[in-house]
């Protein structure tokens, strides 16, 4: 990667290249449509650079092995889709509480259950936030283009390593399977963050040292012995029943994300400076929305687009500020209303909100969005 390389890649292939660029050297997973090309690509690319690929017996085994790879000091990833993400949730919760850096790619498809494996959907927005039980941190990135899948995969690894937490990359089947030109940056052109190094002596090391918001994580096998558990734990990782310690640790784990939301948030604002009607959406639906906004502008309607590349933590402040400037926020999504409820919560009556929903395995079209925009002109 000494020089920029122009390629024509599928979205899932761009995810592979982004992971390699970010320094991923371990992948464990299980094939599932429409994410299988991620596993296929990693099975070829990782051995070529000295990394490790392993296909596990099921989705749970895939994420469990990826957690092990991360604890051993390797940047690790797994990929899946709807029902596979459901199976991974217990281990995602484990990684949240144990504070294990990990990237989980979810190429969304129709559901519930097996649903429509080859059709697009945006059905996992809430599962990405609340799929595992308990209060836990959630970082989920939502690219809309093939080049963005590359850069957001790199950013996912950076955030996982920086905050010692699982990070999801959410995109739908359309973006995962489409092909677009992409220029892969030269080494060093994009920032790559590695986890903090441990500098103390082994006998002084605590994996959950409460002097830090994010404590350094020593790799297993490097001379630092410590315990990892899904139970609430003390600084040394061993379980505790101390209620004050449990509360303090749970709050700290949440604060890692909440206090750094400004660093994690990333949004695209398109034609919002003078907009009177805004569209809020992600993924392939945002591509339809941009076209609809352009058509609305041609018709003299002041429309604009707010496109979050970080859906969790939700861009509360940005949506709240937008609601003070526009008459309505329209939320197209390929589900029956997951994002629109969050928009309504943030708007709190500041402007009208309306969802556009589709769950028939077909994309939301620019015409559908444009028709709704015209209602508020």
Domain coordinates in residue numbering, the chain: 1-264, 267-374
pLDDT interval class at 268 (50, 70, 90): very high
Residues 6+ apart with CB under 8 A from 204: none
The pLDDT tens digits for 205-215 are 999 999 999 99
pLDDT of amino acid 3: 57
Q: What SS3 class is residue 307?
A: strand
Pick from 289, 251, 272, 252: nearest CA to 369: 289
Number of CB atoms found within 10 A of residue 161's CB: 24
C-alpha closest to that of 364 among 340, 339, 331? 331
Cis? peptide before 34, omega within 30° of 0: yes
If we measure between CA atoms, which residue out of 76, 69, 56, 67 comes closest to residue 99? 67
Q: What is the CATH number of domain 1-264?
A: 3.40.50.970
* Bridge partners, residue 270, by sequence: 305
pLDDT digits (tens, 9 = 90+) for 49-80: 999 999 999 999 999 999 999 999 999 999 99
Asked if the model's pLDDT at residue 120 lies above 90, the reply is yes
Q: Tell me the per-residue pLDDT of 20-57, one tens digit each, with 9 for 90 and over.
A: 999 999 999 999 999 999 999 999 999 999 999 999 99
What distance in Å separates the CA atoms of residue 233 and residue 95, rounded to the nearest whole number?
A: 13
Query: Is CATH 3.40.50.920 the right assignment for the domain spanning 267-374?
Result: yes
Q: Give dist(CA 31, CA 63) in Å, integer.
A: 12
158-169 per-position pLDDT tens digit: 999 999 999 999
Q: Which of 116-120, 159-163, 333-337 has the lowest mean pLDDT?
A: 116-120
Q: What is the pLDDT of residue 21?
A: 97
DSSP string, 144-211: -SHHHHHHHHHHHHHHHHHHTSEEEEEEEHHHHH-EEEEEEPPTTTS----PPPP-S-GGG--TT-TT
For 190, other C-beta atoms within 10 Å of its C-beta total 16
pLDDT averaged over every residue in the chain: 96
Residue 226 confidence (pLDDT): 93
pLDDT for res 5: 87
Rounded to an integer, what distance in angstroms lies between the CA atom of residue 369 and that of residue 334? Answer: 12
Which residue has 């500020």 as its token pair?
321
Alpha-carbon gap, residue 250 to 244, rounded angstroms: 10
377 pLDDT band, cuts 50/70/90, is confident
In 3D space, the residue among 255, 263, 216, 262 whose CA is nearest the CA of residue 235 turns out to be 216
Residue holding tokens 């290249």? 17
Model pLDDT for residues 161-191, shown as the tens digit of each residue? 999 999 999 999 999 999 999 999 999 999 9
- When pLDDT is cut at 50, 70 and 90, the band that residue 329 belongs to is very high
Same fold flag, 1-264 and 267-374: yes
Q: What is the 3-state secondary structure (H, E, C) of 81-135?
A: CHHHHHHHHHHHHHHHHHCCCEEEEEEEEECCCCCEEEEECCCCHHHHHHCCCCC
Q: Is the pTM of this model over 0.85?
A: yes
* Residue 4 confidence (pLDDT) above 70: no
Distance CA 239, CA 228 (A): 9
Calculate what percentage of the chain has a pLDDT beyond 90. 98
CA pair distance 150, 14, nearest whole angstrom: 5
């Amino acid at each position: 990667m000494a020089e920029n390389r122009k390629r024509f890649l599928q979205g899932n292939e761009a995810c592979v290249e982004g992971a390699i660029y970010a320094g991923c050297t371990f992948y464990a997973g299980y094939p599932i449509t429409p994410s299988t090309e991620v596993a296929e690509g990693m099975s070829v690319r990782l051995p070529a650079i000295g990394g490790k690929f392993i296909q596990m017996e099921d989705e749970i085994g895939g994420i469990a092995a990826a957690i092990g790879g991360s604890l051993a000091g390797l940047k690790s990833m797994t990929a899946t889709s709807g029902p596979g993400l459901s199976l991974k949730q217990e281990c995602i919760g484990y990684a949240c509480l144990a504070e294990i850096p990990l990237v989980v790619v979810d190429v969304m498809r129709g559901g519930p259950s097996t649903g429509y494996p080859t059709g697009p959907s945006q059905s996992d927005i809430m599962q990405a936030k609340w799929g595992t039980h308990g209060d836990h941190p959630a970082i989920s990135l939502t690219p809309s283009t093939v080049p963005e899948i590359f850069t957001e995969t790199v950013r996912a690894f950076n955030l996982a390593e920086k905050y010692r937490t699982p990070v999801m990359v959410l995109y739908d089947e359309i973006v995962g399977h489409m092909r677009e030109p992409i220029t892969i940056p030269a080494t060093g052109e994009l920032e790559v963050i590695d986890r903090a190094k441990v500098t103390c002596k082994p006998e002084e090391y605590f994996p959950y040292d409460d002097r830090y918001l994010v404590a350094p994580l020593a790799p297993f096998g490097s001379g630092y012995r410590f315990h990892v558990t899904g139970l609430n734990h003390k600084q040394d990782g061993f379980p505790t029943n101390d209620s004050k310690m449990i509360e303090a640790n749970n709050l700290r784990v949440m604060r890692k994300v909440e206090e750094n939301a400004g660093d994690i948030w990333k949004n695209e604002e398109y034609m919002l400076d003078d907009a009177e009607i805004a569209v809020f959406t992600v993924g392939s639906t945002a591509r339809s929305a941009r076209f609809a906004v352009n058509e609305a502008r041609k018709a003299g309607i002041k429309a604009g687009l707010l496109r979050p590349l970080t859906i969790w933590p939700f861009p509360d402040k940005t949506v709240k500020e937008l609601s003070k400037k526009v008459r309505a926020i329209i939320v197209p999504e390929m589900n029956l209303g997951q994002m629109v409820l969050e928009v309504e919560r943030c708007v709190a009556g500041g402007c009208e909100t309306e969802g556009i929903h589709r769950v028939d395995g077909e994309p939301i079209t620019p015409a559908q969005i444009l028709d709704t925009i015209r209602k508020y002109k």
